[in-house]
Amino acid sequence: MEKEKLYRLKAEANQLSPILNVGKNGITDSLVEELNKQIKANRLVKVRVLKSAEEGKDLKAIAEEIATATRSTVIEVRGRTVVLYR
């Protein structure tokens, strides 16, 4: 993905609020299903990863796992928030 588009998407993501939380159950089928609906409707979505979802995992690894499950791209991981785009 080219830098210009990446910057634009990051700027756009700043205006968004997280629409889903990844909780202690982690990445479930229902979470992936809902995320797919949201990505299809909005193309750019923000997801918050709660502390209980980490269980010693790296936040970037969780972000990649979500991206793979939803066939989307990780745009940014900032704090506990992951921005995805498809």
Residue 52 maps to which CATH number?
A: 3.30.110.60
pTM of the predicted model as reported, rounded to 2 decimal places: 0.91
pLDDT of 56 strictly over 90: no
Kindly state the average pLDDT of the residues 23-43.
Answer: 93
Q: How many domains does the chain have?
A: 1
Q: What is the mean pLDDT of the chain?
A: 93
Domain of 67, in residue numbers: 3-85
Residue 19 pLDDT = 93
pLDDT of 67 strictly over 90: yes
**H, E, C per residue of the chain:** CCHHHHHHHHHHHHCCCCCEEECCCCCCHHHHHHHHHHHHHHCEEEEEECHHHHCCCCHHHHHHHHHHHHCCEEEEEECCEEEEEC
pLDDT single digits (tens) 2-30 = 899 999 999 999 999 999 999 999 899 99
